[in-house]
Structure 1
Amino acid sequence: MQLTYPKAPSNGVQTLRPALQAALQTQGFGVNRQFAAAAPAKISLSEAYRGYSLSLDDLSNGKGLKEAKVGDWHYMVFADGVTIADAQLADVRGHVEFASLNHGTLAAATVDALKLAEQSPQLHGKSVELRVLFISALHVVAIWLHAAGEDVLIPIEPTPKELAVTQLYSEAALLAQLKPAADQARQRFDSDTSGLLGS
């Protein structure tokens, strides 16, 4: 399997560098000791890839990946070859700005999903673009391997295990599995009169 990447913002790495250096100097991340202990000289970044999102309405209305909205740029942050964070840049009025640094499981889960994909005979010898799909209303995150005529999705943490286990899915299989939960959530939103849901 060969990973490809979209054309990244030309100043993406330069935009991220000061934010990463500031975060390393803070040393306030008890959640991620690897990040707090990382030496700036040992930090490296993956190629940039895009985040995409589908809403509850999209799922309930049977929309698929073609309708997914393009979101932030993502970079995996490595220290000594180990993934320690996911850094994000947002497109703001024609240029990129630092958006966030995720110290949770996203980066490590991405690497694990790619290892799983590497071992799959289904993807052997294929060229796929790395993407990440978010369905926030259901807490679903999936690595999206996009190829001409084929899309493979691998749900990763924090996706609830009762919605999808970490394995390779076709677009149709994963979206069909998520649709009942999406419809249920949609009904809850529609029947809510308090105005508090979704806020």
Structure 2
Amino acid sequence: MQLTYPKAPSNGVQTLRPALQSALQTQGFGANRQFANAAAAKISLSKAYRGYSLSLDDLSNGKGLQNARIGDWHYLVFADGVTIADAQLAEGRGHVEFASLNHGDHAAAMVSALKLAEQSPQLHGKTVELRLLFVSALNVVAIWLHADGEELLIPIEPTPKNLAVTRLYSEAALLAALKPAAAQAKQRFDTDTSGLLGN
């Protein structure tokens, strides 16, 4: 399997560096000891890839990945070859700015899923673009391997195990697995009168 990446913002890495330096200077940063103990000189970044999102309405109306909305740029953050975080850049009006730094299990889950994809006979010899799919209303995150005429996905943490286990899915199979939960959640949102639930 060969991964390809979209053309990233030319100043993406330069934009991220100060945010990463600042986070590393915060002693005991979160619960991720690997991040807290990382030396700035040992930090490296993956190539940039894009996040995409589908809403409950999209899933309920039978819309697929072709309707996914493009989102932030993502970079995996490594220290001494170990994945320690996922950094995000938001893009708007022709420039990028630091959006967030996720130092939980997400980045390590991505690397594990990519290893799973590399071992899959289904992907042997194929070239795919690395993407990330979010269905926020269901707490679903999946690696999206985009190729001409074929979309393959691997759900990763924090996706609930009752919705999808970590394995390779076709677009149709994953959307079918999510549809009942999406319909249930949409019904809950549609009948909510408190105004406290969002989509």
- For Structure 1 versus Structure 2, the TM-score category normalised by the shorter chain is over 0.9
CA distance in 1, matches of 2:33, 2:26: 12
With the length of structure 1 as denominator, give the TM-score of the two structures: 0.98
**Counterpart residue number, 2:169:** 169
CA distance in 1, matches of 2:132, 2:106: 10
Matched residues, number: 199
Gap runs ≥5 in structure 2 = none
For residues 101-140 of structure 1, the aligned pairs below 5 Å read 101-140=101-140
The superposition leaves residues 40-97 of structure 1 with CA deviations (integer Å, 9 ceiling, x where unpaired) of: 0100000000000000000000000000000000000000000000000000221000
CA distance in 2, matches of 1:12, 1:194: 41
**Counterpart residue number, 2:141:** 141
Q: What is the CA distance between 1:182 and its match in structure 2?
A: 0.3
Give the counterpart letter for 1:52 in structure 2.
Answer: Y
**Counterpart residue number, 2:14:** 14
**Aligned-residue RMSD, C-alpha:** 0.9
**Counterpart residue number, 1:90:** 90
Give the counterpart letter for 2:102 in structure 1.
Answer: N
Q: What is the CA distance between 1:138 and its match in structure 2?
A: 0.1
The superposition leaves residues 73-128 of structure 1 with CA deviations (integer Å, 9 ceiling, x where unpaired) of: 00000000000000000002210000000011111010000000000000000000
**Counterpart residue number, 1:55:** 55
**Counterpart residue number, 1:2:** 2
Q: Structure 1 stretches (4+) deviating beyond 6 angstroms?
A: none
For residues 144-155 of structure 1, the aligned pairs below 5 Å read 144-155=144-155
Point out the more displaced range, 6-15 or 26-35.
26-35
Gap runs ≥5 in structure 1 = none
Q: What is the CA distance between 1:28 and its match in structure 2?
A: 3.4
**Counterpart residue number, 1:76:** 76
CA distance in 1, matches of 2:64, 2:83: 30
**Counterpart residue number, 1:182:** 182
* % identity of equivalent residues: 85
CA distance in 1, matches of 2:28, 2:7: 33
Give the counterpart letter for 2:72 in structure 1.
Answer: D
CA distance in 2, matches of 1:27, 1:5: 33
